Structure 1
Amino acid sequence: MVMSLFFFYSFLCFVLLISLCFSSSFDHHLCSPTETSALLQFKQSLQVKSDYSLCDTSFPKTKSWNESKDCCTWDGVTCDVLTGHVIGLDLSCSQLVGNFHPNSSLFQLHHLQTLNLAYNDFYPSSIPHNIGRLTNLRHLNLSYSTFDGKVPTEISYLSNLVSLDLSYGFALQLNERTFEAMLHNFTNLELLSLFLVNISSPIPVNISSSSLRYVDLYDTNLQGALTENFFLLPNLEMLYLSYNDLLNGVFPKIHPSSTLLELSIAYTGISGEIPDSIGTLSSLKYLNLQQCQFSGSIPDSVGNLTEIRELILSHNHFTGHIPSTISKLKQLTCLDLLSNSFSGEIPEIFSNLQELRHLDLSKNSFIGPFPSSILSLTHLEYLGLSSNSLSGPLPSNAGMLPNLTELDFSYNSLNGTIPSWVFSLPLLSSVSLQHNRFRGLTDEVIKTNPTLKDLHLSHNQLSGSFPQSLVNLTNLVTLGISSNNITVDEGINITFPSLSSLFLSSCELKDFPHFLRNMKTLTVLDISNNKIRGQIPDWFSGMRWDSLRFLNLSYNSLTGYLPQLHFHNLGYLDLKFNSLHGPLPSSICNMSKLSLLDLSHNNFSGSITHCLDSMVELSVLDLRRNNFIGSLPPFCAHSTLLSTILVNGNRFEGTVPMSLLNCFRLEIFDVGNNAINDTFPAWLGMLQELQVLILKLNKFHGRLSSRKKFYFPKLRIFDLSCNKFSGSLPARLFENFSAMIKLDDGDKGEIKYMEQLSEYSMYEDSVSLVIKGHDIELEKINTIMTTIDLSSNHFEGVIPKTVKDLGSLRLLNLSRNNLKGPIPQGLQFNTFANDSYGGNLDLCGLPLSKQCGTSGSSHVPQPSESYFFSGFTWESVVIGYSFGLVVGTVMWSVMFQYRKPIWFVEFFDGLMPHKRRRSKKRALRRQT
């Protein structure tokens, strides 16, 4: 009995002791009160912004932090199980926002080994200098944390770091001294990521960390020559130096290495040839040399890179042939040789490259037939062979490309019939065959292909009716058949229910295609430069294309009144070179989304005073060569986006509207050939972007103002000819023409062109000259075409000496005025022939034969010279809006029938390589 009681009480004591021990252990916190307090203070110094997230999944980890729990159990906190010290803090993606205090309590965690604050927002805080106090840190990650300012030198004190990630530090600057100290002190460093940190210094010579495996210096503004420092690191696996355009030098000789797996020096200034030693990188899986300055041939040793998966050599100056040793690279998934100078036939090396997914040989000088070995690449997804000189037909069968999604053979000389496989591969979504010599399509009707979305066949030699073989491609979104001899039969049944963009320009259309009635989703419609005659049919103008943004009907023979158009979201409307007449319909004036309106070269009439009220997004307005009357509309009264205004060749009267002062983006203003009756609008000089001002052939009168605030800072073409201006030429006016005094610093002698971009096309400004009755059109206004024409006015007095300071002036015409005195000498003035001064009998000095101080008559030009410049005048500044380059006419041969100043010929002769003749159709229309 006694023994039983003894055992019972003993057991009871044991249970009580155990319960006390457990109770004691639950109440005891492993984390020290000091570190708990430090963490809570850090939490209180920041905010949690629930709607802020840079991660796919974000969670406010500090939400679980409170004093009732051991800090070692808090989210993101790791403690040493023996000492209880906080050794790890991972607050990445925690939606933390606020100012990171320089003396943050975080720096009291002296035992911290890992600190990760990535993907939070501490802007505009700088990385605190006290970061150097955390000397036990082994892993520091501040990426995507929006720190600002300089990386403190104290960060180099963290000599135990194994990984340092400051990537996506868009606003961080790392000076050269700190950068060198880091690479010298971090002897244990394995990972260094400074992606997008602004270093702006050379790669340090002394790199002490032989442990480095991963180095990312992408887009850090590295400078100087690439050295072999990194390539000597024994454990380096990944090196990224891309997007450092000031990094130059040559590719260093590679020492044998079995560790380097990925190397990218794309978008740098590194030049020279690839050394044969590249073949020693036997473990390399990724090599990217895109957009550098490499030249020469690819060494055969590239065939030793048998583990490589991506080889990207695009946008360089490589020449020669593709080395046959590439056939050894059986792991290759991407081969990109785009935009080089490779030549010869494309070798049949692809049969062994069965893992290829991406093959791009575009923009080279390859010749010969389509390489048939490509057809064996069963995993190929993208195939680009565009912009070469490939010839001959395509193979008739390509059933071995089951995974191809995009095919681009454009800009070659391929011919024959386009085989059916081009449209029927099971995963194909885009086909580009434009600018070739294909004469026809397969006769067989192509089966429905639900994947094919984009089909480009423009600029070939297709002829006849619209290809019936395409009618089953019912999921097409884009269809381009421009510049073919295609007609459309009225009764053809075509339904493309998803079609968004249709290009049928420069074909043989005689009517509006009736199948357009079936298309409800059009965004872009181009049927320009066809043979469509007569009025715009009611069914077309009545279409409800709510999504239509681009409509081009130019260069046809449309007549009659322009009907009401119900395309309320139209942003681009081009009707130039037709025979439309009458007033503008109210629907045009109410198109609030228009950014470009070109009605030039028609017979429109009436007033447009209030037509611009609703066009709040208008950027380009071209009304040239019509019969509009009344006052000029109040430009920019409701919008400030106008950059080009062309109303040359109408019957506008009145004055230049002061509302133009609101057109702060205006670059071109041409009101020539009207009946404007006004004084010189000197106030236009306040428009900072104005480059072309043409007031010729109007009724402008009075003196030229030269008030200092009207200084025309970017003016390049200034034409006041054939008006009634009088008085002296103010010296201060020409003194203000900054753009004519010298070329822009960025020009460096290169010819650049004024151009603008729309949502759907590029259009370029151009200039026409009338010389002896012939229209000479230079397609584009270039930034060095600086011109002053003040001829046929009543100017008097001396030519200001400030005119000779216009060092970039190329054309000058002061003829037929009442000027007198010596002609300024020096600089560009010495290039102007006597024709520039004809009709001013009291001028003297070179190039005239009359010497100053004598009573002899001034030089009388020879008949051909006088006639040449009597017809000289700037016709207009015109603007082209078709896709690609604007097609213009340059009747250069006309000039060689007459005598002309040598400097004039030399100047325009330098521009001629950029010019092409206008099409016969367009030339005939201009003549009529």
Structure 2
Amino acid sequence: MGHFFFFYSFLCVVLLISECFCSSFEHHLCSPTEASALLQFKQHFEIISYPNSLCPIHFPRTKSWNESRDCCIWNGVTCDMLTGRVIALDLSCSQLWGSIHPNSSLFQLHHLHTLNLAYNNFNYSSIPHNIGQLTNLRHLNLSESGFDGQIPTEISYLSNLVSLDLSGYELQLDERTFETMLHNFTNLELLSLSQVNITSPIPMNMSSSLRYVDLGFTNLRGVVPESLFLLPNLENLKLGVNLLLKGVLPKIPLSNTLLELDISLTGISGSIPDSIGTLSSLNILNLELCQLSGSIPDSIGNLTQITELILSTNHFTGHIPSTISKLKHLTRLDLSSNSLSGEIPNVFSNLQELRYLHLYDNRFIGSFPSTILNLTHLESLALSTNSLSGPLPANKASILQKLTQLDLSDNSLNGTIPSWVFNLPLASSLWLHNNQFSGLPDEIKTNPTLEYLYLSNNQLSGSLHQSLANLTNLSTLDLSTNNITGDAGTNITFPRLQVLQLSCCELKDFPYFLRNVKTLEVLDMSKNKIRGQIPNWFSSMRWDSLEFLNLSHNSLTGHLPQFHYHSLEYLDLKFNSLQGPLPSSICNMSSLNILDLSRNNFSNSIPSCLGNMASLTVLDLRRNNFTGSLPSLCAQSTLLRTIVLNGNRFEGTVPMSLLKCDGLQVLDVGNNAINDTFPAWLGTLQELQVLILKSNKFHGPISTRKKFYFPRLRIFDLSQNEFSGSLPAEVFRNFKAMIKLDDREEGEIKYMSQYLNGHSIYEDSVRLVIKGQYMDLERISTIMTVIDLSNNHFEGVIPKTLKDLSSLWLLNLSHNNLKGDIPMELGQLNMLDALDLSWNRLTGKIPQELTE
């Protein structure tokens, strides 16, 4: 009976408490004013679902807010349970879309301690100045939310902040606000301004409470204050991707609380001090792409808790320290792109957690370090671009069960490639090119994971190895620059092959196995010894996905067949002996971007439809036997960038349709029979850099009453024509690209190229007379400037305005009727490498200034 009474009494107490809580909720703990403010805030936004990989889950918290429920139990809202005031608002990943009004009701929540609006879309609006009214804030997170413009100065009023995250691409922070913030935020522990455009030095006065600092990708400049490295509580310091940030690593011991140090892609220089070894708690050290030099100190072995050690792309010299064997927790070791030398030491046996080992692009010598093959968790191994020699170990890699990428290219490894290389169960990519491998294993097991195999530039010989057919998932196979002579039979199918590169081999016929390959996108069989006509079976293949076909530098004969590759973007047949007319079916290739049929024996006129190909950017038909008038190119398309028709038998005039070629950079119609006056109207093409009209029947003066433009012209060759009249000074005065070349000042010589899918696949070339000799320049540098007016009937004096062409490299005015003195002003052409004024009627003395 007593037990029952106790239970009954307890139940009554529970019910009373429950009633009290129910009563509280009916009367709403939340302040009506603040509830109203939250509802007003909600009404200014739409809920729009959009992908954001940074959000673990998308949850539109405001969607369920309504007046009937206490705002203290609304999603994302937290109240003080004593006062009912809203103290925290977490709307991160809530799919909000819209702008925060400058007078938003949000700023009426004066008791907020925490505000998190991260990972929404505030539609490139500014952070309102009234943010400064929330002076009780301790935690503010506005990261990756589509804010734009200047971070307001008023944010520095939030002096109670413990954490601040404003990371995102579109925001800017001026230097004064940056300094004021860090001066006022004396309690700040977390500061993340990643990707904010700051463009100022790092202030000296930073809170000693800071534990986490992320200023990566902010355009910081100046010198990193040493005090930043020495903050007593610092755990994470991220300064990466600030190329203008300078400084050195302090030699005095850094804070041993540091867990992560990332100064990658900065201008920080000097050496790694021995004191680095005091960071006994460090997990991540990322010094990639700095300006560091010297040797890697032995004290690096004291970082016994480190998991990622990234020292790539610096100027480190010396050997890999043996103490690295102590770093038993390493998962990533990247020492690539330095000047480390000696043999790769056998220090990897202890590094059983290693997943990524990158030692490529150094000066290592000796044999392949066999202890690497015992790393059971290894996923990526790159030892390329060294001087490793000798054979690979055989039958020792059965333990490499997790390796997905193996790069041993650009070494001097030799012998037969062991079978374990191809039989790695998870490997998707093998780079073995640029070695001295002489053979493949007799048996390659079926490997469903291998997709990319690069074996180019080795010493493989004979037929295409039959065992490669077991690689049934292969999508890329590169066997170029070997001594491969042909097929291994008809059983090879490669059901998923997309890229096949067989250039620079010893092929004499089209490989028969291509009949079995249905999925090709790229096929390169250039620079072989293939003779005879293109087989009917090859031209009739239905490769609906084929985008790139290169059969150049062979000995192909006969007529060009009717190809059916309607997705083709690149067709290169140069340096063959193909003949006959050009089939009109070539115009059915509606995606064709680059067409190079140069150095063949094609004849007849060009199909008129060629001028209607909308996607064409490069047309190279040089050194054939084409006849008739120049085609009306750019009649429908304005994308043509390069037109080379040199060395044919074209007649007539230059077609006015070229005016539609807005992006034309190279026009070469030299060595034909074109009979026309100077096409001064070409000067309106703003991108034209190379104009070659040499060896035709052009006649008359080149001066014109219309304004003479050619603003970017750098190579101007009118030689071996019948031009006459004087050389008007105003012509040369308009060659602005010859007055100053910005590319020369960059220190790196660039070349005129055409790109396809990010790769340079066509380089502009030209034939010039240089110092009396014909020279074929296979590449045109962007600093080359040439004027060749030789072998014409020009008369009068040499214009003094030539002196303004300060970047001029070659000037040839020979074989004309020029008279008078040689202007001493030509001595100001400091970049001139060749000057030819011979065979004229010049008088007087050779100016002393030319000797300079």
TM normalised by structure 1 equals 0.87
Q: Helix, strand or coil: the match of 1:693?
A: strand
> 1:732 Cα deviation (Å)?
1.5
Q: Helix, strand or coil: the match of 1:652?
A: strand
> 1:691 Cα deviation (Å)?
1.3
Q: Which position in structure 1 is the counterpart of 2:198?
A: 199
Q: Deviations over 1:417-438 (max 9, x none)?
A: 1111111121121111111111
Contact in 2 for aligned 1:137/1:161 (Cα 8 Å)? yes
- Tell me which amino acid in the other structure corresponds to 1:93: C
1:776-787 matches, cutoff 5 A: 776-787=775-786
Q: Which position in structure 1 is the counterpart of 2:440?
A: 441
Contact in 2 for aligned 1:589/1:613 (Cα 8 Å)? no
Task: Select 1:576's aligned residue among 574, 577, 592.
Answer: 574
Q: Which position in structure 2 is the counterpart of 1:255?
A: 253
1:467-866 matches, cutoff 5 A: 467-489=465-487, 491-705=489-703, 709-744=707-742, 747-759=745-757, 761-770=760-769, 775-826=774-825, 827-829=827-829, 836-846=836-846
Contact in 1 for aligned 2:824/2:847 (Cα 8 Å)? no
Contact in 1 for aligned 2:821/2:845 (Cα 8 Å)? yes
- Tell me which amino acid in the other structure corresponds to 1:224: G
> 1:753 Cα deviation (Å)?
2.2
Q: Deviations over 1:652-685 (max 9, x none)?
A: 1222222222222221111111122222222222
> 1:821 Cα deviation (Å)?
2.0
Q: Percent identity?
A: 72
Distance 2:831 2:367 in 1: 52
**Does residue 328 in structure 1 map to residue 321 in structure 2?**
no
> 1:710 Cα deviation (Å)?
4.0
Change (3 A) 1:77 1:17: closer
Q: Which position in structure 2 is the counterpart of 1:273?
A: 271
1:381-400 matches, cutoff 5 A: 381-397=379-395, 398-400=397-399
**Does residue 337 in structure 1 map to residue 332 in structure 2?**
no
Q: Helix, strand or coil: the match of 2:276?
A: helix
- Tell me which amino acid in the other structure corresponds to 2:438: R
**Does residue 112 in structure 1 map to residue 92 in structure 2?**
no
- Tell me which amino acid in the other structure corresponds to 2:71: C
Distance 2:304 2:51 in 1: 45
> 1:764 Cα deviation (Å)?
2.4
Change (3 A) 1:371 1:20: closer
Q: Helix, strand or coil: the match of 1:733?
A: helix
Distance 1:48 1:457 in 2: 53
- Tell me which amino acid in the other structure corresponds to 2:158: L
TM normalised by structure 2 equals 0.94
Change (3 A) 1:403 1:60: closer
Contact in 2 for aligned 1:254/1:280 (Cα 8 Å)? no
> 1:167 Cα deviation (Å)?
0.7
Q: Deviations over 1:395-417 (max 9, x none)?
A: 11222322211111111111111
> 1:20 Cα deviation (Å)?
9.0
Contact in 1 for aligned 2:687/2:712 (Cα 8 Å)? yes
Contact in 1 for aligned 2:810/2:833 (Cα 8 Å)? no
**Does residue 233 in structure 1 map to residue 231 in structure 2?**
yes
Change (3 A) 1:576 1:267: same
Q: Which position in structure 1 is the counterpart of 2:159?
A: 159
Contact in 2 for aligned 1:791/1:813 (Cα 8 Å)? yes
Q: Deviations over 1:746-802 (max 9, x none)?
A: 734543322232225543223334569965333321122111001111111122211
Q: Deviations over 1:864-898 (max 9, x none)?
A: xxxxxxxxxxxxxxxxxxxxxxxxxxxxxxxxxxx
Two-structure CA RMSD over aligned residues (Å): 2.4
Q: Deviations over 1:589-608 (max 9, x none)?
A: 21111111100000111222
1:832-911 matches, cutoff 5 A: 836-846=836-846
Q: Which position in structure 2 is the counterpart of 1:415?
A: 414
> 1:609 Cα deviation (Å)?
4.6
Q: Helix, strand or coil: the match of 2:765?
A: strand
Change (3 A) 1:136 1:832: closer
Change (3 A) 1:519 1:761: farther
Q: Which position in structure 2 is the counterpart of 1:426?
A: 425
> 1:484 Cα deviation (Å)?
0.9
Distance 2:609 2:339 in 1: 53
Question: Higher mean Cα deviation, 816-825 or 264-273?
Answer: 816-825
> 1:840 Cα deviation (Å)?
1.1
> 1:848 Cα deviation (Å)?
9.8
Q: Which position in structure 2 is the counterpart of 1:123?
A: 123
Q: Any gaps of 5 or more consecutive residues in structure 2? A: 1-11
Task: Select 2:355's aligned residue among 351, 354, 357.
Answer: 357
Distance 1:203 1:157 in 2: 20
Q: Helix, strand or coil: the match of 2:446?
A: coil
Distance 1:15 1:563 in 2: 92
Distance 1:749 1:260 in 2: 40
Contact in 1 for aligned 2:307/2:329 (Cα 8 Å)? yes
- Tell me which amino acid in the other structure corresponds to 2:672: N
Q: Which position in structure 1 is the counterpart of 2:98?
A: 98
Q: Deviations over 1:194-239 (max 9, x none)?
A: 01101111111111x2221111111101101122222111111111
- How many residues matched? 837
Question: Higher mean Cα deviation, 53-62 or 71-80?
Answer: 53-62
Distance 2:17 2:86 in 1: 29
> 1:359 Cα deviation (Å)?
0.7
Contact in 2 for aligned 1:590/1:611 (Cα 8 Å)? no
Q: Any gaps of 5 or more consecutive residues in structure 1? A: 1-12, 850-900, 904-928
Contact in 2 for aligned 1:454/1:477 (Cα 8 Å)? yes
1:146-225 matches, cutoff 5 A: 146-168=146-168, 170-207=169-206, 209-225=207-223
Question: Higher mean Cα deviation, 634-643 or 125-134?
Answer: 634-643
Change (3 A) 1:137 1:483: same
Change (3 A) 1:378 1:301: same
Q: Helix, strand or coil: the match of 1:115?
A: strand
Distance 2:828 2:523 in 1: 48
Change (3 A) 1:453 1:106: same
